[in-house]
Chain A
Amino acid sequence: MNFDLDQEHRDLAAAAGEFLAAAGGPAVARAALDGGAPVRPGRAELVKSGYPAITVPESAGGGGGSVLHLAVVAEQAGRVLAGPSLVTYARAAVLLADHPDRLAGLADGSLAVAVADDDGPVLDAAGADTFLALRDGDLVCGPGTVTVRDPIDATRGLGDVALGETVVLARDAEQLWRRGERVGRTVLASEGLGAAARILEIGVEYAKERRTFGRPIGSYQAIKHMLVDVYVAVEQLRSLVWWAAWAADHAPGELPLAAAAAKAAAATTLDQAAEAVIQVHGGIGFTWEHDAHLYWRRAKVDRFLLGDDVAAFDEVARLAMEASS
């Protein structure tokens, strides 16, 4: 057993981190919130980088890589609140696996895809021209009309989707849909991991510098322990994300539990991290100018993507009870 990233993964993370940090960052997220500026890197530039098509086979113009590769990149995307989400590409790659033309369109950017769930505004609907959905057990695909409302987090491209004329891509596609959802949950959790790890760093830096009553606030247990609780949660989330990504690639039987656990842990951890770090900052953390609320917005939105944390914990419990009875 060797449960750790290898050098290839680390190199990939470093390169992706560099690209994503140069392409976007919290300032871009704020501009998107302020005046509707486009989210970065945006579909075109992201597709050009090749990262979103890592899991698409080479025969369709993708990277032929693993879910773990994509998860490693997604962590870096989460750190800088990049958009659109790699979750969308991960799910689409699963759903379109038997449709080489459409898959190639996903990889070369000629198709701008979003995956439409039925529980409210759709992730990355803004700017999408092709929608995948599950209708009466069938996987369908087609154009749609998008209505964008005032989003809590502008980086998620949320919009209500009314599907137009669709074609059926696969009958009885429940299983395929679930797998796409689970791979999506894994990548979402990885983005949450990156965001949580980054906001924790911001909080720790501030706690070292900011002084009150004659000493750095990070020396007070009240502050220190809050940040340590976030650190412990982030490291546990990291382990669950790696496990889920590994399961997606190598152990389909473990994926349902692993993906649900990672989703649940990501929802609660990012929320805990963002709330804690705003508290550590005091009033400054509550201002528009500070980055903390941008991560907080991510937390509040991501919690409800691909099911909420309550549903994910419930799924973990049902799977655990099933396995033990």
Chain B
Amino acid sequence: MDFDDTPDEAAWRASVRAYLERCGPPGDPRAWQAALYDAGFVGVTWPESAGGRGGTPMQQAIVDQEMSRLGLPALINLIGIGMCGPTVIMHGSEEQKQRYLKRLLRADDLWCQLFSEPAAGSDLAALRTRAVRGDDGDWRVSGQKVWTTLAHLADYGILLTRTDPDVPKHRGLTMFVVDLKAPGVTVRPLRQMNGEAHFNEVFFDDVPIPDAERLGEVGDGWTVALTTLMNERLSLGGGGTAIGPKSETVARHVAARIGALGADRQALARQELGRGYVAALGARYTGYRQLSKLSRGELPGPEASAGKLSGTRSARDLADLAVRVLGGDARVATTPDGDGVWQNAQAVMPGMAIAGGSDQVLRNIIGERVLGLPAEPRADKGLTFRESLR
């Protein structure tokens, strides 16, 4: 057991740090990502044939740590890098890889993930967006997706569709790469409770998709989607650093204000800080365990979902505490700090407990796949998708 960098890791960290300090904070987010890519710090773990560096998970973690240390924002194409790209690498054709992956890493193209639908969130395999194959072998897609992060900016998406309603729901799905500028695609931003608009409704009205844009086999879309979802949970839960306000930042905020609170409130604030901080530390070091496993070449398992569960919980608690120590100013969005940053952090958190697998669904996954508890009975078991709609 050892937390120190190996000599190789230390050299890598030094080069990352030197670069990030030299090139300063980002201006245009796409140009920044392209420059970072050209410097060799994007797609670190991707194979060289996919435009990556063929590096280790630890090298990627070091890039993330150094960016976080300098307070730099996340890369704009994070969903592409963390979820869409790995799915194309694993299931795409050689031609798709050549066409898309390097441009994705340089943010020449932005990507999104078109999975959830109004009637298929947690029960993703219940989705209804139809892809119908024509005589020429190509496809026409109609339906609606929702909660699609970044769709209003994205150039491409990975799209999960139903291609056969007459088999059980998991078996009739097929995945495609879709051009979001294609005719028949309409994107409508949705405004979140914190006032920002990060995600969207996306409508498909008889959108043509060439068969060459299929990812994986016809009817095997569920397998392809699982690749994406596993990478999603890993990137959301990894080290507890990916979600919400940083525990150190909250501690600083509390330290600055705690003297102004009454004695009883000081004691309470310290209890809450202690609890949130212990949870954040637990999530961080559990993330390091996960990272150590990945470094040995083990694949992320269902236990990666635990990181998202606990990371979300501690981030919610810390965001709540940060607002509480504002005192009366907690009631107004514009604080003496001038930016309402903690109210905003608090207002983002309910979404985190839903996005990328709701807390309840993640508990089912861990309960059934890690603890081996029996599955819940499913009313649609053995039915074809068409039958399950009745």
Binding site for B on A (CB under 8 A): 1-6, 9, 68, 204, 207-208, 215-216, 218-221, 223-225, 227-229, 231-232, 235-240, 242-243, 246, 250-251, 257-258, 261, 264-265, 310, 312-318, 320-325
A325 and B306 contacting across the interface, CB-CB below 8 Å: no
Set of chain A residues within 8 Å of B275, measured between Cβ atoms: 264, 313
Quick one: CB contact mask for B149-178 with A, threshold 8 Å, 1 for yes? 000000000000000000000000000000
Flag whether B348 is at the interface (Cβ < 8 A): no
Set of chain A residues within 8 Å of B375, measured between Cβ atoms: 219
Which listed residue, B247, B291, B306, B310, touches A320 by the CB 8 Å rule?
B247
Q: How far is the CA of A219 from the CA of B373 in the complex (A)?
A: 6
Set of chain A residues within 8 Å of B247, measured between Cβ atoms: 320
B274 and A235 contacting across the interface, CB-CB below 8 Å: no
A3 and B363 contacting across the interface, CB-CB below 8 Å: no
Contacts A224-B367, A227-B371: A316 and B274 contacting too (C-beta < 8 A)?
Answer: yes
A324 and B252 contacting across the interface, CB-CB below 8 Å: yes
Q: How far is the CA of A325 from the CA of B2 in the complex (A)?
A: 28
B292 and A2 contacting across the interface, CB-CB below 8 Å: yes
**7 closest residue pairs by CB, A with B:** A313-B274, A236-B282, A239-B285, A218-B373, A324-B252, A321-B255, A224-B367
Set of chain A residues within 8 Å of B309, measured between Cβ atoms: 232
Query: What's the minimum C-beta distance from A113 to chain B, rounded to whole angstroms?
Result: 29
Which listed residue, B251, B367, B376, touches A227 by the CB 8 Å rule?
B367
Flag whether B288 is at the interface (Cβ < 8 A): yes
Q: How far is the CA of A310 from the CA of B5 in the complex (A)?
A: 35
> Which residues of B211-252 have CB atoms within 8 Å of chain A's CB atoms?
247-249, 251-252
B1 and A321 contacting across the interface, CB-CB below 8 Å: no
Give me 15 A-to-B residue pairs in the complex whose CB atoms sit less than 8 angstroms apart, sorted by A's number. Answer: A1-B292, A2-B1, A9-B1, A216-B373, A219-B373, A227-B373, A228-B367, A231-B306, A231-B370, A246-B1, A246-B3, A250-B3, A261-B278, A313-B271, A316-B278
B255 and A1 contacting across the interface, CB-CB below 8 Å: no
Contacts A239-B285, A321-B251: A231 and B366 contacting too (C-beta < 8 A)?
Answer: yes
Q: Which of A204, A224, A243 has the largest count of B CB atoms less than 10 A from its CB?
A: A224
Interface of B is mostly: helix
Q: How far is the CA of A20 from the CA of B374 in the complex (A)?
A: 32
B310 and A232 contacting across the interface, CB-CB below 8 Å: yes
A204 and B372 contacting across the interface, CB-CB below 8 Å: yes
Q: How far is the CA of A313 from the CA of B271 in the complex (A)?
A: 6
Set of chain A residues within 8 Å of B360, measured between Cβ atoms: 221, 225
Task: Give the contact-size bracket for chain B.
Answer: 35 or more
Set of chain A residues within 8 Å of B289, measured between Cβ atoms: 3-4, 239, 242
B363 and A225 contacting across the interface, CB-CB below 8 Å: yes
Set of chain A residues within 8 Å of B291, measured between Cβ atoms: 1, 3
Set of chain A residues within 8 Å of B5, measured between Cβ atoms: 1
Binding site for A on B (CB under 8 A): 1-6, 9, 58, 247-249, 251-252, 254-256, 258, 267, 269-271, 273-275, 277-279, 281-283, 285-286, 288-289, 291-293, 295, 303, 306, 309-310, 360, 363-364, 366-368, 370-377
B1 and A4 contacting across the interface, CB-CB below 8 Å: yes
* A211, closest chain B residue (CB): B374
Q: How far is the CA of A242 from the CA of B377 in the complex (A)?
A: 38
A236 and B283 contacting across the interface, CB-CB below 8 Å: yes
A325 and B255 contacting across the interface, CB-CB below 8 Å: yes
A242 and B285 contacting across the interface, CB-CB below 8 Å: yes
Set of chain B residues within 8 Å of A5, measured between Cβ atoms: 1
Contacts A239-B286, A323-B251, A324-B252: A6 and B1 contacting too (C-beta < 8 A)?
Answer: yes
Q: How far is the CA of A228 from the CA of B283 in the complex (A)?
A: 15
B270 and A317 contacting across the interface, CB-CB below 8 Å: yes
Q: How far is the CA of A310 from the CA of B273 in the complex (A)?
A: 12
Query: What's the minimum C-beta distance from B144 to chain A, rounded to whole angstroms?
Result: 29
* A209, closest chain B residue (CB): B374
B376 and A242 contacting across the interface, CB-CB below 8 Å: no
A317 and B366 contacting across the interface, CB-CB below 8 Å: no
Contacts A231-B306, A240-B285, A314-B271: A4 and B4 contacting too (C-beta < 8 A)?
Answer: no
Which listed residue, B282, B363, B371, touches A240 by the CB 8 Å rule?
B282
Set of chain A residues within 8 Å of B3, measured between Cβ atoms: 1, 3, 246, 250-251
B367 and A325 contacting across the interface, CB-CB below 8 Å: no
* A264, closest chain B residue (CB): B278
Query: What's the minimum C-beta distance from B126 to chain A, rounded to whole angstroms?
Result: 18
A3 and B255 contacting across the interface, CB-CB below 8 Å: no
A232 and B1 contacting across the interface, CB-CB below 8 Å: no
Set of chain B residues within 8 Å of A231, measured between Cβ atoms: 306, 366, 370-371
Q: How far is the CA of A243 from the CA of B278 in the complex (A)?
A: 12
A261 and B372 contacting across the interface, CB-CB below 8 Å: no
* A203, closest chain B residue (CB): B371
* B248, closest chain A residue (CB): A324
Q: Which of B2, B285, B376 has the largest count of A CB atoms less than 10 A from its CB?
A: B285
Set of chain B residues within 8 Å of A227, measured between Cβ atoms: 367, 371, 373
Q: How far is the CA of A230 from the CA of B157 in the complex (A)?
A: 37
B270 and A219 contacting across the interface, CB-CB below 8 Å: no
Query: What's the minimum C-beta distance from A222 to chain B, rounded to whole angstroms?
Result: 11
* A249, closest chain B residue (CB): B1
Set of chain B residues within 8 Å of A318, measured between Cβ atoms: 270
Set of chain A residues within 8 Å of B255, measured between Cβ atoms: 321-322, 324-325
Q: How far is the CA of A322 from the CA of B256 in the complex (A)?
A: 11
Query: What's the minimum C-beta distance from B221 to chain A, rounded to whole angstroms?
Result: 27
Set of chain A residues within 8 Å of B4, measured between Cβ atoms: 1
Set of chain B residues within 8 Å of A204, measured between Cβ atoms: 371-373
Contacts A235-B286, A239-B285, A313-B271: A215 and B1 contacting too (C-beta < 8 A)?
Answer: no
Contacts A68-B1, A225-B360, A324-B251: A236 and B279 contacting too (C-beta < 8 A)?
Answer: yes
